[in-house]
Structures are given as C-alpha cells and as structure tokens.
Chains A and B, each alone.
Chain A
Amino acid sequence: MPEVNLAEQSLLLGYAIRAASWLMLAALVLCILRIARGPTLADRVVALDILNILAVAYCALLTVTSGRAVYLDAGIALALVAFLVTVAFAKFIERTGIDTRNRSAEEKRDAE
C-alpha cells in the first residue's frame, strides 16, 4: 500500500485537516442528539442513515490524514452496510406499524 505522509508535508494542510475533523465531530454529535430526541422511530432511522454516511465521509478524511488506503476499503464496506440498514429498518417500520401503534397509544393516554 502506498503511503503519503501529508500532515507533516505542509502546515496549511495540517490546519485544514484539523478544522475538517472538528466540523465532522460537531456533525456526528448533532446526529446523535437527533437519534436520542427524535419523536418517532422513522426520525431516528433517518438520523442513523445520515450518521452512517458521515462515518463514510470520516473514513475518507482519515485516509487523507493517515495516508493509508486501508481506510478507504473500510469506508466502502460501511457504505454498503448503511444502505442495507436503512432499507431493513424501513421494511421493519412498514411491516410492524410500530409508529402508528405508538401514536395511538399516546393519543389514548392524552384522552384519559
């Protein structure tokens, strides 16, 4: 595997990598906030989908930072898993009707 040590190569690139890492960290934290808060299961699944995509993006950033191409393979595998997770969760929501059940339970509780 070819290796490029970039962070030491140029100061400016090092700063850019650091800024990008902080931005990605903030994005991941916001995603987790939405997963914790989201009112319905569908909201949480959307947030999980975005979290997975951002993790793929972070793998790409890690490839640039470390100069090792292995992280790119991890990113591709993660992208595959992210798609499958989203589709499986969507099927689960449609088949079980879990959001409808939760909502009608809430409405019953509010009525009482």
Chain B
Amino acid sequence: MLSEILTIVLLIAGSFFGFTAALGLIRMPDIYTRMSTSGKAATLCCGLLLAAVAFLFEDIQITAKAVIAILFLLITVPVGAHVIGRAAYREQVKSWEGTKTDGEE
C-alpha cells in the first residue's frame, strides 16, 4: 500500500513537472530563459518518472537500469543546454529587452 502511494505521488509530480517544462517553453520571452527553465524542469520530470520505475519493479537489473538512465540524463541535459546556448550566443540571437547585463555583452 505504501509503495503504491509513493508511486502515485512520483508519477503525478513527474508528469506535472514535464507539463511545466513545456509551459515554460511557450511562455518565456527569449531562447536563453526558455533553455534555462525547461532544461531543469524536464530533467526533474524524467528523474521522478524513472524513480517511479526503479521503485516499483523489485528486480535489481531494472532498478540499476533506471538509476543509470537518471545519472546519464543528469549529466547530458545540462551539457546539451549549455552547448546550444553557447551557439545561440555566438550567433548573437537577440535576448529579451528586459535582460540586464554587466556591460560586457
């Protein structure tokens, strides 16, 4: 019973954060803010759903696979977001007019 409740909480929280990530993708004004919000929320979504899988199956192989997938995503998603953000910056994609810089631009 307890494991069931925990699984339900993980599933709902994970998919909610996935929806939040997509909402940030639509609502944020420029590419840099979009990348920042959505990358984090999507990683959390994946992590929670994979944690539900790891928790639910009482098989060490599947749990190990899920944990490996979580670790892999934790490493690659920030790296991917950084690479695409750097490309956008070098291409001088315009940022939101409300952005404050320290003058080094």
Contacts and interface: CB of A to CB of B under 8 A. Distances in A.
Interface residues of A, number: 56
Contacts of B86: 90, 94
Q: For the complex, would chain A's binding face be called helix, strand, loop or mixed by DSSP majority?
A: helix
A105 interface: no
A46 B87 contact: no
A54 B21 contact: yes
Given A42-B88, A46-B31, A83-B79, 5 more contacts: A42-B93, A53-B42, A57-B42, A90-B87, A94-B86
Interface of B: 4, 7-8, 11-12, 14-16, 18-19, 21-23, 25-26, 31, 34-35, 38-39, 42-43, 45-46, 49-50, 52-53, 56-57, 59, 61-62, 65-66, 68-69, 72-73, 76-77, 79-81, 83-84, 86-88, 90-93
27 contacts: A13-B8, A19-B12, A23-B18, A24-B15, A27-B23, A30-B19, A34-B22, A42-B84, A42-B93, A46-B81, A50-B39, A53-B45, A53-B46, A54-B21, A54-B22, A54-B46, A56-B69, A57-B15, A57-B50, A64-B49, A79-B69, A82-B76, A83-B80, A86-B84, A87-B80, A91-B87, A100-B92
